[in-house]
């Protein structure tokens, strides 16, 4: 990962990781199913979306395994090992490399803001070939509050000397969208497992299929021009 000194960023791009920079939903779903099966329990897609998608491990364990709180940390670690064992073929979301190239060419800083454990985030960024192109990695569980609290996005901006009016965020979950919007960020939602209506209801300014969306590039051009003039 790049070592970026504190500075006033020309522009800042803040990315969620799971489901945003790469499609991991099925991997996480199957990892949680395997974990619960070890304890004689089941998980369907509706429950996954309701209790798991975009949440912290602490909240997930409280929802899925409320009767054994003393084992939550152990079981969360077990689930993440199951996930990492299956994460050998991750691919960047279409257009992600193009957007990272744009950031490098235009002096924009990049932060990853995720509720994923640090070991997962490091593995995913390495597999995606993006680790050396990231200026800051913000892990929600290492802060006082994770998403949907805005603190992780505020921390990402602070670490890069960024300002919300000269930045944007990319998310795929309602909790992440709420966190980014409460931090004052223009927020693009990546369409995935959830319907567009749910993403817009959470506060997304726009819903795009991937990072090649013309709407994104029109907005970036206009926003970067505005930032350059201030």
**Catalytic residue positions?**
16, 18
**Residue 51 tokens, joined:** 């209790």
Cα separation of 174 and 122, whole Å?
24
Per-position DSSP letters for 83-138, written without gaps between them: HHHT-TT--BPTTHHHHHHHHHHTTEEEEEEESS-HHHHHHHHHHHT-GGG-SEEE
| Cβ neighbours of 229 (radius 10 Å) | 6
Cα separation of 124 and 131, whole Å?
8
Residues whose CB is less than 8 angstroms from the CB of residue 118 and which lie 6 or more positions away in sequence, other chains included: 137, 139, 142
**Residue 9 tokens, joined:** 């960023």
* Residues forming a β-bridge with 207: 189
Phi and psi at residue 51, to the nearest 5°: -110, -20
Give the number of C-alpha atoms closer than 13 A to the C-alpha of residue 64, restricted to the C-beta side.
33
- The CA radius of gyration of the chain, in Å to the nearest whole number, is 17
């Amino acid at each position: 990962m790049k070592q970026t000194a504190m500075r006033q960023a020309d522009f800042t791009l803040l990315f969620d990781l799971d489901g945003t920079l790469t499609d991991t939903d099925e991997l996480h779903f199957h990892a949680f199913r395997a974990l619960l099966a070890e304890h004689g329990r089941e998980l369907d897609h509706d429950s996954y979306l309701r209790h798991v998608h975009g949440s912290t491990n602490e909240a997930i364990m409280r929802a899925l395994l409320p009767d054994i709180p003393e084992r939550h940390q152990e079981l969360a670690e077990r689930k993440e090992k199951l996930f990492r064992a299956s994460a050998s073929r991750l691919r960047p979301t279409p257009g992600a490399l193009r957007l990272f190239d744009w950031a490098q060419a235009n002096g924009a800083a990049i932060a990853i803001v995720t509720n994923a454990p640090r070991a997962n985030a490091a593995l995913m960024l390495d597999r995606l070939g993006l680790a050396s192109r990231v200026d800051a990695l913000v892990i929600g569980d290492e802060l006082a509050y994770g998403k949907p609290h805005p603190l992780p996005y505020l921390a990402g901006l602070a670490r890069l000397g960024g300002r919300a009016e000269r930045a944007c965020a990319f998310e795929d979950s309602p909790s992440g969208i709420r966190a980014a919007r409460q931090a004052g960020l223009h927020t693009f939602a990546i369409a995935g497992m959830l319907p567009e209506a749910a993403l817009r209801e959470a506060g997304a300014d726009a819903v795009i299929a991937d990072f090649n969306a013309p709407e994104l590039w029109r907005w970036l051009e206009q926003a970067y021009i505005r930032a350059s003039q201030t």
